[in-house]
Protein backbone atom coordinates (compact mmCIF):
# COMPACT_ATOMS: atom_id res chain seq x y z
CA UNK A 1 0.00 0.00 0.00
CA UNK A 2 1.02 3.59 -0.55
CA UNK A 3 0.17 5.79 2.41
CA UNK A 4 -0.16 9.54 2.73
CA UNK A 5 -0.81 10.77 6.25
CA UNK A 6 -3.60 13.26 6.82
CA UNK A 7 -4.71 14.99 10.05
CA UNK A 8 -7.70 12.60 10.20
CA UNK A 9 -5.73 9.41 9.39
CA UNK A 10 -4.36 8.59 5.95
CA UNK A 11 -5.19 8.19 2.32
CA UNK A 12 -4.14 4.70 1.29
CA UNK A 13 -3.70 3.48 -2.28
CA UNK A 14 -3.77 -0.27 -2.74
CA UNK A 15 -1.35 -1.72 -5.25
CA UNK A 16 -2.88 -5.16 -5.76
CA UNK A 17 -6.32 -3.85 -6.59
CA UNK A 18 -7.67 -0.60 -7.96
CA UNK A 19 -8.82 1.20 -4.84
CA UNK A 20 -8.04 4.23 -2.71
CA UNK A 21 -9.13 4.15 0.91
CA UNK A 22 -9.52 6.84 3.56
CA UNK A 23 -8.42 5.15 6.77
CA UNK A 24 -8.95 6.78 10.17
CA UNK A 25 -6.16 7.09 12.74
CA UNK A 26 -7.11 3.87 14.53
CA UNK A 27 -7.07 2.04 11.22
CA UNK A 28 -3.62 3.41 10.44
CA UNK A 29 -2.41 2.38 13.89
CA UNK A 30 -3.80 -1.09 13.24
CA UNK A 31 -1.31 -1.31 10.38
CA UNK A 32 1.43 -0.65 12.89
CA UNK A 33 1.94 2.92 11.66
CA UNK A 34 1.78 6.39 13.16
CA UNK A 35 1.05 9.68 11.40
CA UNK A 36 3.88 11.52 13.14
CA UNK A 37 3.97 15.24 12.34
CA UNK A 38 0.70 15.07 10.41
CA UNK A 39 -1.09 14.03 13.59
CA UNK A 40 0.63 16.36 16.01
CA UNK A 41 -1.43 18.84 18.02
CA UNK A 42 -4.60 20.00 16.31
CA UNK A 43 -3.10 19.88 12.87
CA UNK A 44 -5.60 21.02 10.25
CA UNK A 45 -3.29 21.60 7.33
CA UNK A 46 -4.81 21.63 3.87
CA UNK A 47 -4.47 18.30 2.10
CA UNK A 48 -2.77 18.00 -1.24
CA UNK A 49 -4.83 16.59 -4.11
CA UNK A 50 -4.96 12.83 -4.55
CA UNK A 51 -5.73 13.17 -8.25
CA UNK A 52 -4.38 15.70 -10.76
CA UNK A 53 -5.53 16.22 -14.32
CA UNK A 54 -2.58 17.20 -16.48
CA UNK A 55 -3.05 18.81 -19.89
CA UNK A 56 -0.12 17.42 -21.86
CA UNK A 57 -1.04 19.26 -25.04
CA UNK A 58 -3.49 21.84 -26.35
CA UNK A 59 -3.25 20.28 -29.80
CA UNK A 60 -6.30 18.55 -31.26
CA UNK A 61 -7.84 18.44 -34.70
CA UNK A 62 -11.23 17.07 -33.71
CA UNK A 63 -12.89 20.44 -33.25
CA UNK A 64 -15.56 19.34 -30.75
CA UNK A 65 -18.07 22.16 -30.32
CA UNK A 66 -17.96 21.89 -26.54
CA UNK A 67 -14.19 21.53 -26.01
CA UNK A 68 -13.49 22.85 -22.53
CA UNK A 69 -9.97 24.08 -23.28
CA UNK A 70 -10.63 25.29 -26.82
CA UNK A 71 -8.00 22.90 -28.21
CA UNK A 72 -6.90 23.50 -31.81
CA UNK A 73 -4.71 21.79 -34.41
CA UNK A 74 -1.91 24.28 -33.72
CA UNK A 75 -2.20 24.18 -29.94
CA UNK A 76 0.92 24.34 -27.79
CA UNK A 77 2.61 21.21 -26.53
CA UNK A 78 4.96 21.42 -23.54
CA UNK A 79 8.28 19.60 -23.83
CA UNK A 80 8.60 16.29 -22.00
CA UNK A 81 11.17 17.67 -19.58
CA UNK A 82 8.62 20.25 -18.37
CA UNK A 83 6.02 17.55 -17.76
CA UNK A 84 8.56 15.40 -15.95
CA UNK A 85 9.27 18.26 -13.56
CA UNK A 86 5.53 18.54 -12.97
CA UNK A 87 5.44 14.81 -12.23
CA UNK A 88 8.21 15.40 -9.68
CA UNK A 89 5.94 17.92 -7.98
CA UNK A 90 3.08 15.42 -7.92
CA UNK A 91 5.32 12.81 -6.35
CA UNK A 92 6.53 15.28 -3.75
CA UNK A 93 2.96 16.10 -2.75
CA UNK A 94 1.99 12.43 -2.60
CA UNK A 95 -0.56 12.57 -5.44
CA UNK A 96 -1.82 9.07 -6.30
CA UNK A 97 -3.25 9.44 -9.81
CA UNK A 98 -2.42 11.59 -12.83
CA UNK A 99 -4.90 11.77 -15.69
CA UNK A 100 -3.31 12.88 -18.93
CA UNK A 101 -5.55 14.88 -21.22
CA UNK A 102 -5.43 17.80 -23.56
CA UNK A 103 -6.08 18.53 -26.30
CA UNK A 104 -5.67 15.10 -27.75
CA UNK A 105 -2.87 13.47 -25.74
CA UNK A 106 -2.25 10.71 -28.27
CA UNK A 107 -0.82 13.32 -30.66
CA UNK A 108 2.28 13.16 -28.47
CA UNK A 109 4.94 10.69 -29.51
CA UNK A 110 6.27 10.24 -25.98
CA UNK A 111 3.18 9.07 -24.09
CA UNK A 112 4.77 5.75 -23.24
CA UNK A 113 7.77 7.57 -21.77
CA UNK A 114 5.50 9.87 -19.77
CA UNK A 115 3.49 6.92 -18.44
CA UNK A 116 6.70 5.25 -17.34
CA UNK A 117 7.87 8.50 -15.76
CA UNK A 118 4.68 8.62 -13.67
CA UNK A 119 4.94 4.96 -12.65
CA UNK A 120 8.59 5.34 -11.65
CA UNK A 121 7.48 8.13 -9.28
CA UNK A 122 4.78 5.95 -7.70
CA UNK A 123 1.92 7.68 -9.51
CA UNK A 124 -0.79 5.79 -11.42
CA UNK A 125 -1.17 7.20 -14.95
CA UNK A 126 -4.52 7.16 -16.76
CA UNK A 127 -5.55 8.89 -19.95
CA UNK A 128 -8.51 10.28 -21.88
CA UNK A 129 -8.60 10.21 -25.69
CA UNK A 130 -11.12 10.93 -28.41
CA UNK A 131 -9.95 7.72 -30.05
CA UNK A 132 -9.68 9.49 -33.40
CA UNK A 133 -6.65 8.26 -35.32
CA UNK A 134 -5.81 5.68 -32.67
CA UNK A 135 -3.71 3.29 -34.72
CA UNK A 136 -2.28 0.01 -33.47
CA UNK A 137 1.09 1.76 -33.14
CA UNK A 138 -0.45 4.38 -30.85
CA UNK A 139 -2.24 1.70 -28.84
CA UNK A 140 1.17 0.18 -28.15
CA UNK A 141 2.19 3.42 -26.42
CA UNK A 142 -0.80 3.17 -24.08
CA UNK A 143 -0.05 -0.23 -22.58
CA UNK A 144 1.43 1.17 -19.36
CA UNK A 145 -1.63 3.25 -18.51
CA UNK A 146 -3.81 1.77 -15.77
CA UNK A 147 -6.89 2.74 -17.77
CA UNK A 148 -7.69 4.65 -20.94
CA UNK A 149 -11.07 6.30 -21.40
CA UNK A 150 -12.44 7.00 -24.86
CA UNK A 151 -14.87 9.88 -25.32
CA UNK A 152 -18.04 8.19 -26.52
CA UNK A 153 -21.35 9.97 -26.14
CA UNK A 154 -23.41 7.48 -28.11
CA UNK A 155 -23.93 6.08 -31.56
CA UNK A 156 -24.25 8.12 -34.75
CA UNK A 157 -26.45 11.14 -34.36
CA UNK A 158 -26.25 11.11 -30.55
CA UNK A 159 -22.48 11.55 -30.74
CA UNK A 160 -22.94 14.25 -33.37
CA UNK A 161 -25.46 16.15 -31.26
CA UNK A 162 -22.90 16.41 -28.45
CA UNK A 163 -19.75 17.12 -30.46
CA UNK A 164 -21.00 18.64 -33.71
CA UNK A 165 -19.80 15.82 -35.96
CA UNK A 166 -20.18 12.04 -36.02
CA UNK A 167 -16.96 10.27 -35.13
CA UNK A 168 -18.70 7.53 -33.18
CA UNK A 169 -17.38 4.83 -35.52
CA UNK A 170 -13.79 5.92 -34.85
CA UNK A 171 -14.43 5.99 -31.11
CA UNK A 172 -15.95 2.50 -31.28
CA UNK A 173 -12.94 1.19 -33.19
CA UNK A 174 -10.66 2.69 -30.57
CA UNK A 175 -12.56 0.99 -27.74
CA UNK A 176 -12.33 -2.35 -29.55
CA UNK A 177 -8.63 -1.89 -30.37
CA UNK A 178 -7.71 -1.01 -26.80
CA UNK A 179 -9.71 -3.89 -25.36
CA UNK A 180 -8.21 -6.32 -27.86
CA UNK A 181 -4.72 -5.15 -26.89
CA UNK A 182 -5.48 -5.87 -23.24
CA UNK A 183 -5.60 -2.22 -22.21
CA UNK A 184 -8.26 -1.55 -19.58
CA UNK A 185 -10.68 0.76 -21.38
CA UNK A 186 -13.59 2.88 -20.24
CA UNK A 187 -15.75 5.50 -21.88
CA UNK A 188 -16.58 9.09 -21.02
CA UNK A 189 -20.19 9.91 -21.80
CA UNK A 190 -21.19 13.57 -21.79
CA UNK A 191 -24.79 13.94 -20.69
CA UNK A 192 -26.68 16.57 -22.63
CA UNK A 193 -30.36 17.06 -23.28
CA UNK A 194 -29.88 14.94 -26.43
CA UNK A 195 -27.63 12.16 -25.13
CA UNK A 196 -29.34 11.55 -21.78
CA UNK A 197 -32.39 9.70 -23.14
CA UNK A 198 -30.07 7.19 -24.84
CA UNK A 199 -27.67 6.56 -21.99
CA UNK A 200 -28.81 2.96 -21.45
CA UNK A 201 -28.22 2.14 -25.09
CA UNK A 202 -24.86 3.95 -25.12
CA UNK A 203 -23.52 2.09 -22.09
CA UNK A 204 -24.73 -1.28 -23.37
CA UNK A 205 -22.98 -0.59 -26.68
CA UNK A 206 -19.77 0.49 -24.94
CA UNK A 207 -19.77 -2.65 -22.85
CA UNK A 208 -20.33 -4.83 -25.91
CA UNK A 209 -17.31 -3.19 -27.55
CA UNK A 210 -15.09 -4.13 -24.61
CA UNK A 211 -15.34 -1.20 -22.18
CA UNK A 212 -15.30 -2.05 -18.48
CA UNK A 213 -16.57 1.25 -17.18
CA UNK A 214 -18.48 4.36 -18.16
CA UNK A 215 -18.04 7.75 -16.61
CA UNK A 216 -21.04 10.01 -16.94
CA UNK A 217 -20.11 13.67 -17.28
CA UNK A 218 -22.18 16.77 -16.86
CA UNK A 219 -21.88 19.21 -19.76
CA UNK A 220 -20.05 22.29 -18.48
CA UNK A 221 -19.80 25.84 -19.76
CA UNK A 222 -16.05 26.17 -20.24
CA UNK A 223 -13.87 26.80 -23.29
CA UNK A 224 -15.94 26.58 -26.49
CA UNK A 225 -18.93 25.37 -24.43
CA UNK A 226 -19.12 28.72 -22.65
CA UNK A 227 -21.68 30.10 -25.08
CA UNK A 228 -25.43 30.55 -25.21
CA UNK A 229 -25.59 27.08 -26.74
CA UNK A 230 -24.85 25.79 -23.26
CA UNK A 231 -28.35 26.66 -22.14
CA UNK A 232 -29.84 24.56 -24.95
CA UNK A 233 -27.49 21.61 -24.46
CA UNK A 234 -27.43 21.22 -20.69
CA UNK A 235 -29.69 18.63 -19.09
CA UNK A 236 -33.31 19.66 -18.68
CA UNK A 237 -34.67 20.09 -15.17
CA UNK A 238 -36.61 16.83 -15.20
CA UNK A 239 -33.64 14.99 -16.65
CA UNK A 240 -31.45 16.25 -13.81
CA UNK A 241 -34.06 15.16 -11.27
CA UNK A 242 -34.20 11.69 -12.80
CA UNK A 243 -30.48 11.00 -12.41
CA UNK A 244 -30.96 8.90 -9.25
CA UNK A 245 -33.52 6.53 -10.81
CA UNK A 246 -31.43 6.37 -13.96
CA UNK A 247 -28.36 5.27 -12.01
CA UNK A 248 -30.40 2.73 -10.08
CA UNK A 249 -31.65 1.29 -13.37
CA UNK A 250 -28.15 1.15 -14.88
CA UNK A 251 -26.85 -0.60 -11.76
CA UNK A 252 -29.56 -3.23 -12.15
CA UNK A 253 -28.97 -3.77 -15.86
CA UNK A 254 -25.62 -3.04 -17.49
CA UNK A 255 -23.76 -3.33 -14.14
CA UNK A 256 -25.73 -6.27 -12.72
CA UNK A 257 -23.00 -8.90 -13.05
CA UNK A 258 -20.29 -6.69 -11.52
CA UNK A 259 -18.09 -6.71 -14.64
CA UNK A 260 -19.02 -3.19 -15.73
CA UNK A 261 -19.19 -0.09 -13.57
CA UNK A 262 -20.74 3.35 -13.85
CA UNK A 263 -19.10 6.48 -12.49
CA UNK A 264 -20.58 9.90 -12.09
CA UNK A 265 -18.49 13.02 -12.17
CA UNK A 266 -18.33 15.55 -9.35
CA UNK A 267 -20.72 17.94 -11.08
CA UNK A 268 -23.54 15.37 -11.24
CA UNK A 269 -23.65 14.83 -7.48
CA UNK A 270 -26.00 17.78 -6.75
CA UNK A 271 -28.65 16.17 -8.97
CA UNK A 272 -28.84 13.29 -6.47
CA UNK A 273 -30.51 15.68 -4.03
CA UNK A 274 -33.76 15.06 -5.93
CA UNK A 275 -33.66 11.36 -5.03
CA UNK A 276 -35.27 10.96 -1.62
CA UNK A 277 -33.65 7.62 -0.90
CA UNK A 278 -30.14 8.81 -1.72
CA UNK A 279 -30.54 12.18 -0.04
CA UNK A 280 -31.68 10.42 3.15
CA UNK A 281 -28.47 8.44 3.38
CA UNK A 282 -25.47 10.67 2.68
CA UNK A 283 -23.31 8.39 4.84
CA UNK A 284 -23.57 5.71 2.15
CA UNK A 285 -22.34 8.13 -0.50
CA UNK A 286 -19.44 9.14 1.72
CA UNK A 287 -18.56 5.54 2.53
CA UNK A 288 -18.38 4.66 -1.15
CA UNK A 289 -16.08 7.62 -1.66
CA UNK A 290 -18.39 9.61 -3.90
CA UNK A 291 -16.75 12.96 -4.63
CA UNK A 292 -18.69 16.14 -5.30
CA UNK A 293 -16.81 19.36 -6.00
CA UNK A 294 -13.26 18.61 -4.89
CA UNK A 295 -11.76 21.45 -6.94
CA UNK A 296 -8.78 22.76 -5.04
CA UNK A 297 -9.17 19.90 -2.56
CA UNK A 298 -8.76 16.25 -3.51
CA UNK A 299 -8.58 17.38 -7.14
CA UNK A 300 -6.40 19.85 -9.00
CA UNK A 301 -5.50 20.42 -12.61
CA UNK A 302 -2.25 21.36 -14.29
CA UNK A 303 -2.85 23.59 -17.28
CA UNK A 304 -0.93 23.27 -20.50
CA UNK A 305 1.02 26.42 -19.57
CA UNK A 306 2.20 24.87 -16.32
CA UNK A 307 -0.12 26.44 -13.76
CA UNK A 308 -2.27 24.88 -11.05
CA UNK A 309 -6.04 25.24 -11.41
CA UNK A 310 -8.75 24.08 -8.97
CA UNK A 311 -10.08 21.85 -11.75
CA UNK A 312 -9.78 21.54 -15.52
CA UNK A 313 -12.75 23.85 -16.11
CA UNK A 314 -11.65 26.62 -13.75
CA UNK A 315 -9.29 29.51 -14.36
CA UNK A 316 -5.76 28.76 -13.28
CA UNK A 317 -4.29 30.18 -10.12
CA UNK A 318 -0.95 31.91 -10.14
CA UNK A 319 0.75 28.86 -8.69
CA UNK A 320 3.31 27.09 -10.85
CA UNK A 321 2.62 23.37 -11.24
CA UNK A 322 6.16 22.65 -10.14
CA UNK A 323 5.35 24.41 -6.83
CA UNK A 324 2.34 22.25 -5.99
CA UNK A 325 3.67 21.69 -2.48
CA UNK A 326 2.83 25.37 -1.83
CA UNK A 327 -0.85 24.76 -2.63
CA UNK A 328 -2.02 25.65 0.89
CA UNK A 329 -0.87 29.23 0.52
CA UNK A 330 -2.41 29.93 -2.87
CA UNK A 331 -5.28 32.45 -2.52
CA UNK A 332 -7.32 31.16 -5.47
CA UNK A 333 -7.25 27.55 -4.28
CA UNK A 334 -8.03 28.81 -0.78
CA UNK A 335 -11.07 30.69 -2.11
CA UNK A 336 -12.50 27.49 -3.59
CA UNK A 337 -11.87 25.55 -0.39
CA UNK A 338 -13.36 28.29 1.79
CA UNK A 339 -16.67 28.14 -0.06
CA UNK A 340 -16.85 24.39 0.48
CA UNK A 341 -16.08 24.77 4.18
CA UNK A 342 -18.88 27.29 4.78
CA UNK A 343 -21.40 27.31 1.92
CA UNK A 344 -24.43 29.61 1.96
CA UNK A 345 -28.03 28.36 1.98
CA UNK A 346 -29.59 26.31 0.61
CA UNK A 347 -26.39 24.24 0.53
CA UNK A 348 -25.65 24.81 4.22
CA UNK A 349 -28.72 22.82 5.33
CA UNK A 350 -28.54 20.14 2.60
CA UNK A 351 -28.13 16.53 3.74
CA UNK A 352 -25.66 15.96 0.89
CA UNK A 353 -23.54 19.01 1.71
CA UNK A 354 -20.48 17.14 2.94
CA UNK A 355 -20.41 15.00 -0.19
CA UNK A 356 -21.71 17.40 -2.84
CA UNK A 357 -19.75 20.41 -1.56
CA UNK A 358 -22.00 22.95 -3.17
CA UNK A 359 -22.17 21.61 -6.71
CA UNK A 360 -20.33 22.90 -9.74
CA UNK A 361 -18.90 26.38 -9.24
CA UNK A 362 -17.98 26.58 -12.93
CA UNK A 363 -21.68 26.30 -13.80
CA UNK A 364 -22.61 28.76 -11.05
CA UNK A 365 -20.06 31.30 -12.26
CA UNK A 366 -21.26 31.05 -15.86
CA UNK A 367 -25.00 30.95 -15.28
CA UNK A 368 -25.26 33.27 -12.27
CA UNK A 369 -21.98 35.15 -12.36
CA UNK A 370 -21.14 34.16 -8.79
CA UNK A 371 -19.05 31.54 -7.07
CA UNK A 372 -22.11 30.20 -5.28
CA UNK A 373 -24.67 27.40 -5.06
CA UNK A 374 -25.14 25.35 -8.22
CA UNK A 375 -28.07 27.02 -10.02
CA UNK A 376 -29.08 23.75 -11.72
CA UNK A 377 -29.26 21.70 -8.53
CA UNK A 378 -32.87 20.57 -7.97
CA UNK A 379 -32.72 21.57 -4.32
CA UNK A 380 -31.39 25.03 -5.17
CA UNK A 381 -34.14 25.44 -7.77
CA UNK A 382 -36.77 24.32 -5.28
CA UNK A 383 -35.48 26.79 -2.71
CA UNK A 384 -35.75 29.54 -5.29
CA UNK A 385 -39.27 28.43 -6.23
CA UNK A 386 -38.25 27.59 -9.78
CA UNK A 387 -40.24 24.81 -11.43
CA UNK A 388 -38.37 22.15 -13.38
CA UNK A 389 -38.68 22.50 -17.11
CA UNK B 1 5.32 2.80 15.09
CA UNK B 2 2.15 1.37 16.64
CA UNK B 3 1.36 -2.21 17.53
CA UNK B 4 -0.37 -4.07 14.67
CA UNK B 5 -4.01 -5.03 15.20
CA UNK B 6 -6.91 -6.14 13.05
CA UNK B 7 -8.39 -3.37 10.93
CA UNK B 8 -12.09 -2.89 11.54
CA UNK B 9 -14.37 -2.02 8.65
CA UNK B 10 -15.64 1.07 10.44
CA UNK B 11 -12.09 2.42 10.35
CA UNK B 12 -12.46 2.71 6.60
CA UNK B 13 -13.97 6.19 6.26
CA UNK B 14 -14.30 5.89 2.49
CA UNK B 15 -13.50 3.42 -0.25
CA UNK B 16 -13.01 4.61 -3.83
CA UNK B 17 -12.87 1.70 -6.20
CA UNK B 18 -11.48 1.59 -9.73
CA UNK B 19 -9.02 3.88 -11.47
CA UNK B 20 -11.21 6.23 -13.43
CA UNK B 21 -9.53 7.80 -16.40
CA UNK B 22 -11.30 11.04 -17.08
CA UNK B 23 -9.02 14.04 -17.43
CA UNK B 24 -11.52 16.81 -16.85
CA UNK B 25 -13.58 16.10 -13.74
CA UNK B 26 -13.20 13.65 -10.91
CA UNK B 27 -15.42 10.59 -11.04
CA UNK B 28 -16.68 8.07 -8.50
CA UNK B 29 -18.06 4.58 -8.98
CA UNK B 30 -21.77 4.82 -8.15
CA UNK B 31 -23.32 1.44 -9.00
CA UNK B 32 -21.88 -0.06 -5.81
CA UNK B 33 -24.17 2.28 -3.89
CA UNK B 34 -27.08 0.15 -5.07
CA UNK B 35 -25.40 -3.20 -4.52
CA UNK B 36 -26.70 -5.62 -1.92
CA UNK B 37 -25.23 -5.53 1.57
CA UNK B 38 -23.53 -8.86 0.83
CA UNK B 39 -21.73 -7.49 -2.19
CA UNK B 40 -20.75 -4.34 -0.32
CA UNK B 41 -19.40 -6.33 2.61
CA UNK B 42 -17.35 -8.48 0.24
CA UNK B 43 -15.73 -5.40 -1.30
CA UNK B 44 -14.82 -3.99 2.11
CA UNK B 45 -13.53 -7.38 3.32
CA UNK B 46 -11.29 -7.71 0.26
CA UNK B 47 -9.86 -4.25 0.90
CA UNK B 48 -9.20 -4.94 4.57
CA UNK B 49 -7.38 -8.13 3.57
CA UNK B 50 -5.27 -6.28 1.00
CA UNK B 51 -4.40 -3.56 3.51
CA UNK B 52 -2.87 -6.15 5.80
CA UNK B 53 -1.11 -8.04 3.02
CA UNK B 54 0.64 -5.32 1.03
CA UNK B 55 4.00 -3.82 2.01
CA UNK B 56 3.85 -0.18 3.12
CA UNK B 57 5.36 2.84 1.41
CA UNK B 58 4.80 6.36 2.74
CA UNK B 59 4.55 9.29 0.28
CA UNK B 60 3.88 13.01 0.47
CA UNK B 61 6.94 13.94 2.44
CA UNK B 62 6.79 17.47 0.98
CA UNK B 63 3.44 17.81 2.75
CA UNK B 64 4.37 16.62 6.23
What would the pLDDT profile of A261-315 be if each residue is shown by its tens digit? Answer: 999 999 999 999 999 999 999 999 999 999 999 999 999 999 999 999 999 999 9
Nearest neighbour of A148 by CB, restricted to B4, B21, B58: B21
Q: pLDDT class for A155, splitting at 50, 70, 90?
A: very high
Task: Give the gap in angstroms from C-alpha B29 to the nearest C-alpha of chain A.
Answer: 4
In B24-43, the residues whose Cβ lies within 8 Å of chain A are 24-35, 39
Residues A158/A193/A200/A67 CA torsion (nearest 10 deg) = 60
Q: Do B6 and A94 touch (CB under 8 A)?
A: no
User: In this predicted structure, what is the pLDDT of residue A302?
Assistant: 97
CA distance B40 to chain A (A): 9
pLDDT band at B36 (very low <50, low <70, confident <90, very high): confident
Flag whether pLDDT at A89 surpasses 60: yes
**Mean pLDDT, to the nearest integer, of A331-335?**
94
* Residue of B24, B34, B35 lying closest to A101 (CB–CB): B24
List the single range of A37-46, A239-248, A253-262, B9-18 with lowest mean pLDDT.
A37-46
> In degrees rounded to 5, what are phi and psi of residue A124?
-85, 120
Residue-level pLDDT at A81: 98
Model confidence band, residue A65 (pLDDT cutoffs 50, 70, 90): confident
Compute the average pLDDT of residues A163-180. 96
**Is B4 in contact with A30 (Cβ distance < 8 A)?**
yes
Instruction: State the pLDDT confidence band at A51, using cuts at 50, 70 and 90.
Output: very high
Across A149-168, average pLDDT: 95
What local confidence, expressed as pLDDT, does residue A245 receive? 98
The rounded distance, in Å, linking the Cα atoms of A379 and A348 is 12
Q: Is B64 exposed, middle or buried (0-12, 13-18, 19+ CB in 10 A)?
A: middle
Question: pLDDT tens digits for A228-259?
Answer: 999 999 999 999 999 999 999 999 999 999 99
β-strands B27-29, A261-265 pairing:
antiparallel
A6 — phi, psi (to 5°)? -130, 160
For chain A, give the percent of residues with pLDDT over 90: 90
Q: Inspect the interface and report whether the beta carbons of B56 and A18 lie closer than 8 Å.
A: no
Put simply, whether B53 touches A (Cβ < 8 Å) is yes
Minimal Cβ distance to A264: which of B4, B30, B50:
B30
ipTM over 0.90: yes
pLDDT at B5: 82
pTM: 0.96
A147 and B58 within 8 Å at the Cβ level: the answer is: no
CB atoms closer than 10 angstroms to residue A277: 12
Amino acid sequence: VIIRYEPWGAWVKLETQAAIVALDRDGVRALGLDGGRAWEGTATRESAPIEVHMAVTARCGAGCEGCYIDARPDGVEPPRETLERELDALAGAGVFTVAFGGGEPTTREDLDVLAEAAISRGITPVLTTSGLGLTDARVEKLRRFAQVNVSYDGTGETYAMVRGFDASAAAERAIERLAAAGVRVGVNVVLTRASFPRVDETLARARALGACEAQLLRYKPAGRAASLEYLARRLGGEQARSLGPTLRRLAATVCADGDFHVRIDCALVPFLSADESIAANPEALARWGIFGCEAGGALAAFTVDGKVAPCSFARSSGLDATSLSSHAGDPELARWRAHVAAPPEPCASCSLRTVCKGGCKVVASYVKGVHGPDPECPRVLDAAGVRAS
Amino acid sequence: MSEEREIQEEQLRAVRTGHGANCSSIGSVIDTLFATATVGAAVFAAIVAALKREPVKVVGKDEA
